[in-house]
Amino acid sequence: MELFNLSGKRALVVGGGGDLGFAMMEGLLEAGASAVAVDIDPNVSSLTDLLSKKGFKASSLQVDITDRSAIKKSVADAEKLLNGSIDILVNSAGIQRRRPSEDYLEKDWDDVISINLTATFFYCQLVAKNMILNGYGKIINVASIMSFFGGVTIPAYAASKGGVAQLTKALSNDWASKGICVNAIAPGYIDTRLNTALINDDERSTEVLLRTPMKRWGIPNDMKGVAIFLSSPASDFISGAVLPIDGGYSAR
């Protein structure tokens, strides 16, 4: 089990107040890490308080990640809370805006790209500076199966997640020789608040289940194991990978 032991490791989970981010952060804590959650949702503090009451070393920062100066400050603040530099970065913040492509709003495009892709790059860049100095780091970006498919009425989301997949590969090429493993997970159809409208659409939900060999929607806890794996010594020779976590959907 030492291969999966994260004792003494310090993690920053961007989007830690979201369903997937919270589950991954809880997994990292359960494996022995300490963690700081970053989220714009003020409820992130109550979530990390619950984890702290369970005996985990968890804290939070409320941050608007569309503000690049706020991103920079949050990295510095997280390092103070963790009493040292960051060993593990999880980029899990994401939003969705649905509208037919011909009617897609400029603001929706800008918001989705800013949060899903641009913030991911700047967190990677800022955290990697100390990881390079330390000769060690694990970065997990959250892509999507829409990194591979086009989707319907989600041009900005598909573009942003395609960008996250390619960004992950580019950063791996630059940093793997410096001790940093940069990987992405590509969740499929997961029962989260982000997918509420889709889940409530009987026709689309049925289509999803028919295509998914496991015949169920994923749940946030399905992300725990892969987050621990990609943060641990068990994955030390894995970098530049984009791993589908989709119940077999993308293989169908």
- In angstroms, the CA 35 to CA 28 distance is 8
Structure confidence at residue 195 as a pLDDT band (50, 70, 90): confident
Structure confidence by residue, pLDDT tens digits, 198-235: 777 888 888 889 999 999 999 999 999 999 999 999 99
Q: Given this model, what pLDDT does residue 46 score?
A: 96
Q: Is 157 a catalytic residue?
A: yes
Indicate the angle between helix axes 44-53 and 19-30, nearest 10 degrees. 20
Structure confidence by residue, pLDDT tens digits, 149-186: 999 999 999 999 999 999 999 999 999 999 999 999 99
Q: Which domains does the chain have, with CATH numbers?
A: 2-244 (3.40.50.720)
pTM: 0.96
Percent of the chain at pLDDT > 70 equals 100
- In angstroms, the CA 89 to CA 84 distance is 14
Query: Are 190 and 137 contacting, i.e. CB atoms less than 8 angstroms apart?
Result: no
Selected residue with higher pLDDT from 86 and 252: 86
Structure confidence by residue, pLDDT tens digits, 98-122: 999 999 999 999 999 999 999 999 9
- In angstroms, the CA 25 to CA 31 distance is 10
Select which of 104, 123, 136, 157 is catalytic: 157
